[in-house]
Amino acid sequence: MRTYQPLFVLLLTAVTFSAFTFPMQSRKEKRIATVYLFLRNLKSKKTHEVRNMLGFPLTDLHLDEQTLEADITRAAALLKEYGIPAPVRLTLQKDTTGPRKYTYISAPLPVTPDADKRLLKATIRIGFLDELDDSKVARYEILTDYRMSVIEP
């Protein structure tokens, strides 16, 4: 019986470890799948689908129909030009500073700056509220960084 004790402890440890890590992995994977669905809806300008993926009404997100439409048009133009980034480029960040706990997934677009274009960086940042379902987006931002133009006399 003693020869099986280390094997039993190892098996029990493996089962316990997988029981605690599996839900975390599946949650992260579900959020990444939501990010890609959200990005595809933005790229295809599917306003209704984008609105349905938001976890809160537009007024709670300080948006109106015109702002949402402008955001979708802007994101669609960026995503059509640069494409949706590969999963390895996504970055995950937790925000625990406020009263609510958010998890942000940033999707940096593969911008290649050239002489004619002023855009240096573009990222679509999608926030998930930990209390919400992982298929709902709590916040989103379209972050861009443009080259400053210099006017010479």
Query: pLDDT digit string (tens) for 77-119?
Result: 999 999 999 988 999 999 888 888 999 999 999 988 666 678 8
Cα distances from 49 to residues 25, 43, 45, in angstroms, run 26, 12, 9
Residue at 132 is within a domain: yes
Residue at 2 is within a domain: no
DSSP single-letter state for residue 103: E
Q: Which pLDDT score is estimated for 9?
A: 67
Which CATH number covers residue 137? 3.10.450
Q: Is the pLDDT of residue 10 over 60?
A: yes
Q: Which pLDDT score is estimated for 87?
A: 87
The residue with greater pLDDT, 147 or 128, is 128
Residue at 134 is within a domain: yes
Q: Is the pLDDT of residue 120 over 60?
A: yes
Residue at 87 is within a domain: yes
Residue at 93 is within a domain: yes
Domain tally, the chain:
1
Q: With contact defined as beta carbons under 8 Å apart, do 131 and 100 qualify?
A: yes
Residue at 18 is within a domain: no
State residue 115 phi and psi, 5-degree precision.
-65, -35
Q: Which domain holds residue 47?
A: 25-146
Q: Which pLDDT score is estimated for 42?
A: 97
Q: Which pLDDT score is estimated for 97?
A: 84
Q: Is the pLDDT of residue 2 over 60?
A: no
Residue at 13 is within a domain: no
Q: Which pLDDT score is estimated for 88?
A: 87
> Would you say the C-alpha torsion 79, 60, 52, 47 has a positive or negative sign?
negative
The tens digit of pLDDT for each residue in 17-71 reads 665 555 556 888 999 999 999 999 999 999 999 999 999 999 999 999 999 999 9
Residue at 12 is within a domain: no
